[in-house]
């Protein structure tokens, strides 16, 4: 691809990134090259996988088939042109569908990554896509916390592996802690996904998925989908409390993960720190909040700006991170 075409592709990728997640784009923009390009591509590839799993245009059988074909395309065995053409027909007005319509551009950017980074991205995205296909086939039945963790591992824990492998590849000082960081990276992914489950309870229920293990229900005569009924408010708040405590446990591991990133790698620390801080604040807003059952809970734009600004200045300090997390969990930004 000639230089003008590459610049145009980079601009498209950045636009897709910002429109998919403005807050996540802030963190990615802070990263040094080549991590910035590798993680941008990985993120957008995973958004395509998310579209194939979550969209309301397709039936489950078609979702499963397309997720498997997407995995083959990532491995270089599928018909890329045919699948990209199929994805270009995505009609939903969602960030995931927007990225899916540009799958050919994202795959082209994947081709231009350095082979060592590209291999990591491909391996982890195809594993996550296979896990999504398995759970689409299995259906939204979570018997216990192990079931929920298994699902979250496929969609978020493997992302923790992906990022840790890229960090160890590009940051020599991290290689000695790689094994511990892989373990904590999975926990980091589960932390963010648990917060996503909490803030998306109402929206997910509307598409037929309730990410609540049956074992979390204080009254086993109630089914997870019935938690949203006014008569079951007490049971729903007990489930919310259990999910919040679960998220707190995973977030403690996420803080330990960040402490292992050397202060000299400040931009990588910031990339990891921002989603942690946003998750802590979102969890604080959701805690014991019955409105979680009626609409998505999220921070204000002003809170995002304040947290980002303070993290840029103080994020090198492990002590400050612990202090600020306690503050976000109580008094706010």
| Tokens read off for 248 | 């707190």
Q: Are 286 and 304 in contact (CB under 8 A)?
A: no
| Tokens read off for 246 | 């679960």
Task: End-to-end CA distance of the chain: give it in Å, rounded.
Answer: 45
Q: How many CA atoms lie within 13 A of 202 on its CB side?
A: 12
CA distance linking residue 196 with residue 177, whole number of Å = 28
Q: Which of 99, 77, 84, 71 is nearest to 14 (CA)?
A: 99
Per-residue pLDDT tens over the stretch 310-325:
999 999 999 999 999 9
Q: Could you tell me the pTM of the whole model?
A: 0.94
Assign residue 162 a region (left: φ > 0; alpha: ψ between -120 and 50; beta: otherwise).
Answer: alpha
CA distance linking residue 110 with residue 330, whole number of Å = 42
Query: CA angle 19-20-24, nearest 5°?
Result: 105
pLDDT 10s per residue in the chain (333 long)? 554 555 557 788 999 999 888 778 889 999 999 999 999 999 999 999 999 999 989 999 999 999 999 999 999 999 999 999 999 999 999 999 999 999 999 999 999 999 999 999 999 999 999 999 999 999 888 999 999 999 999 999 999 999 999 999 999 888 888 999 999 999 999 999 999 999 988 887 777 788 999 999 987 788 888 888 999 999 999 999 999 999 999 999 999 999 999 999 999 999 999 999 999 999 999 999 999 988 888 899 899 999 999 999 999 999 999 999 999 999 888
**Domain ranges (residues) in the chain:** 1-113, 140-333
CA distance linking residue 80 with residue 92, whole number of Å = 21
Superfamily name and number for 140-333: Farnesyl Diphosphate Synthase (1.10.600.10)
CA 216 to chain centre: 23
């Amino acid at each position: 691809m000639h230089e003008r075409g590459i610049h145009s592709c980079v601009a498209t990728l950045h636009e897709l990134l910002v429109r998919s997640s403005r807050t996540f784009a802030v963190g990615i923009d802070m990263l040094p090259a080549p991590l910035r390009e590798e993680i941008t591509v990985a993120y957008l590839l995973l958004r395509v996988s998310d579209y194939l799993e979550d969209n309301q245009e397709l039936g489950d059988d078609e979702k499963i088939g397309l997720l498997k074909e997407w995995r083959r395309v990532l491995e270089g065995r599928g018909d890329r042109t045919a699948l990209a053409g199929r994805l270009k027909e995505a009609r939903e007005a969602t960030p995931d569908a927007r990225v899916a319509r540009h799958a050919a551009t994202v795959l082209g950017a994947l081709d231009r990554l350095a082979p060592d980074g590209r291999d990591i991205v491909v391996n982890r995205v195809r594993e996550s896509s296979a896990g999504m296909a398995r759970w689409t086939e299995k259906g939204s039945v979570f018997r216990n916390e192990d079931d929920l963790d298994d699902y979250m591992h496929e969609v978020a824990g493997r992302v923790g592996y992906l990022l840790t492998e890229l960090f160890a590849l590009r940051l020599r000082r991290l290689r000695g802690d790689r094994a511990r960081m892989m373990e904590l990276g999975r926990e980091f992914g589960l932390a963010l996904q648990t917060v996503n489950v909490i803030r998306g309870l109402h929206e997910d229920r509307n598409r037929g998925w309730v990410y609540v293990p049956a074992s979390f229900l204080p009254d086993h005569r109630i089914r997870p989908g019935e938690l949203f009924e006014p008569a079951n408010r007490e049971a729903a708040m007990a489930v919310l409390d259990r999910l919040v405590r679960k998220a707190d446990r995973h977030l403690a591991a996420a803080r330990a993960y960040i402490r292992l990133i050397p202060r000299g790698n400040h931009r990588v620390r910031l990339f990891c720190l921002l989603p942690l801080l946003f998750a802590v604040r979102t969890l604080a807003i959701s805690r014991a909040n019955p409105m979680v059952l009626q609409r998505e809970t999220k921070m204000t734009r002003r809170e995002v700006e304040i947290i980002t600004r303070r993290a840029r200045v103080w994020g090198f300090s492990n002590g400050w991170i612990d202090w600020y997390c306690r503050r976000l969990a109580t008094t706010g930004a």
